[in-house]
Amino acid sequence: MRSAINLHDFRAMARRKLPQIAFDFIDGGADDELGMVRNREAFSDYQLLPRYLNDVSTRDQSTTLFGRKYSSPIGISPTGMAGLFRVGADGMLAAAAKKANVPFLLSSASNFRIEDAAKIAPDNVWFQMYATSDHRINMDLVRRAREAKVGVLVITVDVPVNSNRERNRRNGFTRPFRMTPSIMLDTLSRPGWLLQYLKSGGMPMMSNWQPYAREGANADQVADMYGTLTPAPMTSWETVTAIRREWEGPLVIKGVLHPDDAIQSAEHGLDGIIVSNHGARQLDCAPSPISMLPAIRAAVGDRMTLMLDSGVRRGSDVITAKCLGAQACFFGRPTLYAVAALGQDGADQVFAIMRREIDAVLTQIGCGNFGDLTERFLHRKT
């Protein structure tokens, strides 16, 4: 199977391609993984109410974020260690985002340097950073993003502690990582992946962190150093203020769920919020972002650009989020499944599928312009 019908198909493809330890790293959540179910089910609380007898012979699904017009209201969420699933995955995702003209949020935990991603897709790369326990490194990451001419800086704030991801623990995918006999047996069941892994030199380098490690440090040593710097539970609004002083461009906070935190974000000079629960990979009992979006919109009004991720899998999800106030939606797992299974072609297919779905739903509900979507197209189940 070389093409997918929907985003769910990529998951099945990746499962056949990847050893369990790698697949579960993408697929898993925290604790009982009930949050992942809730993220999907929450979209079904809303139904789209069509308005017929409107001329929808032409449609426009473009959206403008921070003065930049994108062709579709979708983008790639930050995903760490993508190079483990397919060598060069981050570069493929950047290229796919450029081709589709949508944002790509490069994770600071990726296997690709900020500078290299910005060269591939200079108008589409945003940079996502975790604040670390070292203020100098925080400021240097900001400097590098600025010098690479990254358009938008995103601070992820919902990782004050490493979560309990039980699939990873059972598989032995923990720091420090050790290749045990059971892991070796698992990888032997996927010889194509194993050959690629060995030919590339084993565990991929977390390239953005290499400059802060000792000279000559290997990939495992850099990853272990990263683990000493993050999570940083001392991160506070003072940290955000310090980053805001150093970053003159659009600054976005990712991981906000509480309306009061949204108000604080506006008061601290941030430009946007990605309403997110980290794909249910952090706090399993957190509410779904789509369920909190109306309250956050009510709290900040039009003062900030609102976006959303976690659980987005269909074009109809993006339409629903826009009706509730989000200008764009992001997703991470589907892009990793796709690039792991099919490489560049898979990454490109993700956006082609979502564009088709968004276009079809806009047509079906009688709204030719994505920007015209409001709550009048929604029906909430009682």
Other Cβ atoms less than 10 A from the Cβ of 54: the count is 12
Both structure tokens of 11: 């998951």
Angle in degrees, 0-180, between the axes of helices 181-188 and 191-199, rounded to the nearest 10? 110
Asked if residues 128 and 254 have their Cβ atoms less than 8 Å apart, the reply is yes
Does 8 qualify as catalytic in the annotation? no
Q: Where are the alpha helices (DSSP H) in 18-163?
A: 20-27, 34-41, 89-100, 114-120, 135-147
| Distance from C-alpha of 6 to C-alpha of 213, rounded to nearest angstrom | 41
Residue for token pair 């000559």: 216
184's CB contacts (< 8 A; 6+ apart) are none
Contact indicator for 343, 95 with CB cutoff of 8 Å: no
Side-chain-side CA neighbours of residue 6 (13 Å)? 8
Locate tokens 């949508």: which residue?
Answer: 102
Catalytic residue among 8, 268, 278, 379: 278
Spatial neighbors of 261 by CB under 8 A, at least 6 apart, are: none
The alpha carbon of residue 257 and the mean position of all alpha carbons in its chain are separated, in whole angstroms, by 16
Question: Does residue 373 contact residue 51 with C-beta atoms inside 8 Å?
Answer: no
Query: Which residues carry out catalysis?
Result: 278
